[in-house]
Chains A and B, each alone.
Chain A
Amino acid sequence: MAELRTEEFVVNMGPHHPSTHGVCRLMLTMDGEIVTKIEPVIGYLHRSIEKICENRTYAQCVPLMDRVEYVTAMSCGYMFAGAVEKLGGIEVPLRAQYLRTIMLELNRIASHLLFYGVTAMDIGAYTPFLYGLRERELIIDLFEETCGQRLTYNYIRIGGVSQDIRPDFVPKCREALNVISAKMSDYTGLLNENPIWIHRTKGVGVLPADLAKAYGVSGPNLRASGVNYDIRRNDPYLLYDKFDWNVAVRPNGDCFDRYMLRLDEIMQSIRIVTQALDGLPDGEIMAKGVTVNYKAPAGEVYHRVENSRGELGVYIQSDGGKKPVRVKIRGGSYNSLMVLPHFATNRMIADLVAIFATLDVIMPEVDR
């Protein structure tokens, strides 16, 4: 009888694959059904945003920043505006800071609802996609009434925000948050007790905490591995140190914890927005003296924001002219994808899909 001969083969997953994480190509070396080596190949969405910013004035860079991470475009706009404000020492009025905090947290809730829908769809459950996007539409409607756009807002400008909220924003926002917090039991009820979901996510893809810290993983992926670090609390910006909220941490670091942690974060964000709406003061929404031809003084700064995918940071170097010398953007998904080959091997390819889905990677942050 002939000897059974096995050999490893290379399977190419991507750049176009059905999970809508953008265009990421993973070259998998497989031994049967087990993945032995992963090599991510990126650059399919490299739009050279950093090179474009070198030929734009500071105000012209702001709408471009929304495209870096379009699911949470408010954070991207704030990341850049906050960095320029640090360079120039601009004092942002209090009402603008409250509005910025509210918009950033609403955007975090919308992003996590999208994560919920898309992750469940990747692992095979199609119904949560419709549930998650239905509630997300409530928040998107609020954004559309305020700034006119559904996805790339261009709302947070250098020195403040671009327009004030409508008079019925506050009651509508409270109504939307009530609906979402009531529906959270629906979301967990659909998936958490489901034996298929539990088998596919519990104990799968454990990311050890020291590996996560070594590779610069941040945000919910880091907190799901037990590391209690949140930029909003450890290195506060905007008004996060004035509100009463908790940092969600989960101990295990498997796919189930990464998924549940984001649902916990939705509840904490609802707390922050409710407190911000209660304390919203009157006043100006834009700092004085900041015009559309603003020139930042010479210097360099690295400003970072806690995004729903991790630490979103921008490094700006300015020489006092109209245009920045260098803008370097750092996204949380970059490091999540960097650490993927180091902890997701030696398991089946279906587990790899679940791990990749719960890491919540968005490709333009990786490729810029």
Chain B
Amino acid sequence: MTREELAAYATEKFAGRLTPLATGKYDPLFLVNDAGDLLAVARALKEDPKLQLEYLCNAGAIDTGKIDPPDKRFEIHYSVASLQLSLRLDLKVVLPAGKPEVESLQPVWPAADWFEREFWELFGIHVRNHNHLGQFLLPDDWNQGFPMRKDWDAPDFVRMPEK
């Protein structure tokens, strides 16, 4: 399947659950309409015989810094692939600013384990049903908040001066 065929097939099969986004360049990018539906969509993508997307390439959280409207501040971007069929697809979930939470995708893609630990530690996005959230990359005695957020600051954090 080419990229266009893949985009058309996924749009048609998951109509109502996934919305194709135009901001994705090169590979098809879909927005999961309901963040609570994420685990079911992931399972369906993995078990579909024409897609077989069983390989998680990357999962990253984004803080867009948009505080107005506040319900679109955090996003999580998943990149999945199929090894046998050589396909690539991207998924996105949008989370609100107040208490962002997402379901762990470890039952579907066990590779999501360490990616999700980073969501909590650096962004403060809680991951439900993950058994190992906590200290991961930062020092043991870190108590200065979630550093990858756009509004984070600390006394010894030096910004590069604008030229």
Contact = CB atoms under 8 A, between A and B. Distances in A.
Interface of A: 42-43, 46, 48, 50-51, 54-56, 86-87, 89, 213-216, 227, 229, 234-235, 298-304, 311, 313, 315, 317, 325-326, 328, 330, 334-335, 338, 367
A43 B111 contact: no
B79 A302 contact: yes
Nearest to A228: B83
Interface stretch (B10-18, B19-27, B96-104): B19-27
Nearest to B85: A234
A366 B77 CA distance: 19
Interface of B: 23-27, 29, 54-58, 60, 62-65, 77, 79, 83, 86, 88, 90, 109-111, 113-114, 136-139, 147-148, 150, 159-160
A335 to B, nearest CB: 6
Q: What's the dominant secondary structure at chain B's contact region? A: loop
B86 A235 contact: yes
Nearest to B58: A330
A54 B63 CA distance: 11
A42 B26 contact: no
Contacts of B137: 42-43, 46, 367
B136 to A, nearest CB: 6
Contacts of A214: 54, 109-111
Contact of A313 (B24, B54, B57, B83): B57
12 contacts: A43-B137, A213-B83, A214-B111, A216-B57, A234-B83, A300-B25, A311-B57, A313-B79, A315-B77, A326-B60, A326-B62, A338-B114
Given A216-B111, A338-B111, A325 B64 contact: yes
Nearest to A337: B114
Nearest to A315: B60
Given A46-B137, A227-B83, A335-B111, A326 B63 contact: yes
A46 B138 contact: yes
A51 B147 contact: yes
A229 B83 contact: yes
B88 A235 contact: yes
Contact of A315 (B23, B58, B83, B86): B58
A319 to B, nearest CB: 8
Contact of B114 (A301, A303, A334): A334
A64 to B, nearest CB: 12
Contact of A55 (B54, B60, B139, B159): B159
Given A299-B23, A330-B57, A325 B62 contact: yes
A303 B147 CA distance: 25
Given A46-B137, A300-B25, 5 more contacts: A48-B147, A48-B148, A214-B54, A214-B110, A302-B90
Contacts of A42: 136-137
Nearest to A233: B86
Contacts of A325: 62, 64-65
A328 B60 contact: yes
Contacts of B27: 301-302
Candidate in B60, B63, B160 with the most chain A CB atoms within 10 angstroms: B60
A299 B90 CA distance: 13
B111 A328 contact: no
Contact of A86 (B26, B58, B64): B26
A304 B26 CA distance: 12
Which of B25, B55, B114, B136 has the largest number of chain A CB atoms within 10 A? B25
Contacts of B79: 302, 313, 315
B55 A216 contact: yes
Contacts of A216: 55-57, 109, 111
A313 B78 CA distance: 12
Please indicate which of the listed interface residues B62, B138, B139, B160 has the most CB atoms of chain A within 10 Å of its own CB. Answer: B62
